Structure 1
Amino acid sequence: MSPALSLLQQRHSAPSRQLGEPAPDEATLQALLEASIRVPDHGKLVPFRLLRLQGDAKLAFGEQLAAIAIRNDPDMSESKQEKEQLRYTFAPLVMVVVACLHAESKVPEIEQKLCAGNVAYNILLGAYALGYGAQWLTGWAAYDPEVATLLKLSAHEHVIGFVHLGTPQIEIPDRDRPALADLLDTWTP
């Protein structure tokens, strides 16, 4: 395997429940995020921004999210309620990647969202390269208008993902990957 491609060949997500302290320190996080925002950006719109959830603020966010989930589904089972209440208690740091869409731009909305998605992926890849674990999650909260209000998002902003960061607390096995031969064709006229 080419050393230049080994990082891509080995990268995998670490389940957020398996992420603990330490998170990247401030200098490492700044370097990671500066590298992560170097993405293809048609029109130089910078259609993204980042929100940090850490410490007491992360826990308060998680509690408020759980309350919204239970209010939205009062018949939710106790096990699902517990899952909602614990969701933000594991990884020490969560980065919220937000797409900031420019409706007046000639750049299609999908390209702007993909640009923001590349930021989220770069955080995953960079975290792995630095020896940390990360998982990109969305779930109902990424699409819920009440959560958008909680995060103080503008009408033109959307959550792309919640990237949970920390140190894997166990060895994380890789998952099965698709075979390239099943995915690759050559187009001919």
Structure 2
Amino acid sequence: MKTEIKLIDYLSTRRSIPAFQMGEPGPSKSEVEEMLKLASRVPDHGKLAPWRFIVYRGEARRRLSEELAKIAMGDKPDLAEDMVKVENTRLTRAPVVIAVVSRAAPHVKIPEWEQLMSAGAVCLNLVMAANAYGFASNWLSEWYAFDERAHGILGVNAGEKVAGFIHIGTPTVPPTERPRPELAEIVTWIGDDA
């Protein structure tokens, strides 16, 4: 039985678990589908749904990781052995990896920038949906998010961009806190009561 927490408590303690610190079990197909429904509930000016999902599960993650590693090692043939291992395990660190793909495009009314931000909101909603189901999650965008040679391997179409890869699994270690910015460093007040 899952423990319910208030949203304010969740937001005040939300942390990511590194993908390499996740293990089985991962979410079931039906849990992933529910997470994707929740992730889709974002601001979306014009109701364009300018994003889509690609879900990587099972053995396909290993095969795709090996294909990505070939690109990385082709670019850097002298890659250190520990980095070769990193490249060979890109999509196998967590039981489920979901690509959030931006389909932002010119529109007569909706700026592409708004469409891109909607894809970012989908990423964060997916992270929170995974947490709500009791799983750890991590939003990553590594080199293969930006390399068009990798896009064909990963199912990303021409003209699309990867907003992020959301890794989802069971944490193998407890989350740790990290320094957060002080409000005085990131907030500008404008107005009479500032």
Q: Per the shorter chain, which TM-score range?
A: over 0.9
Name stretches of at least 5 consecutive residues in structure 1 with no aligned partner: none
The question of 1:5 aligning with 2:8 is answered yes
Structure 2 counterpart of 1:169: 172
Q: CA RMSD for the aligned pairs?
A: 1.7
The question of 1:140 aligning with 2:143 is answered yes
CA distance in 1, matches of 2:6, 2:66: 43
Change in Cα spacing, 1:147 to 1:187, as seen in structure 2 (3 Å) is same
Structure 2 counterpart of 1:23: 26
Quote how far apart the aligned CAs of 1:105 are: 4.0
Report the number of matched residues: 188
Q: Say whether the 8 Å CA contact 2:127–2:138 is kept in structure 1.
A: yes
The question of 1:47 aligning with 2:58 is answered no
Name stretches of at least 5 consecutive residues in structure 2 with no aligned partner: none
The question of 1:60 aligning with 2:80 is answered no
The question of 1:71 aligning with 2:81 is answered no
CA distance in 2, matches of 1:8, 1:96: 23
Quote how far apart the aligned CAs of 1:188 are: 4.4
Amino acid at match of 1:36: A
Q: Say whether the 8 Å CA contact 2:123–2:166 is kept in structure 1.
A: yes
TM-score w.r.t. the length of structure 2 is: 0.90
Q: Say whether the 8 Å CA contact 2:54–2:155 is kept in structure 1.
A: no
TM-score w.r.t. the length of structure 1 is: 0.92
CA distance in 1, matches of 2:22, 2:89: 13
Amino acid at match of 2:80: S
Q: Say whether the 8 Å CA contact 1:63–1:85 is kept in structure 2.
A: yes
More helix by share: 1
Change in Cα spacing, 1:100 to 1:64, as seen in structure 2 (3 Å) is same
Which of the residues 102, 112, 116 maps onto 2:115? 112
- What percentage of residue pairs aligned between the two structures are identical? 37
Quote how far apart the aligned CAs of 1:89 are: 2.1
CA distance in 1, matches of 2:131, 2:91: 20
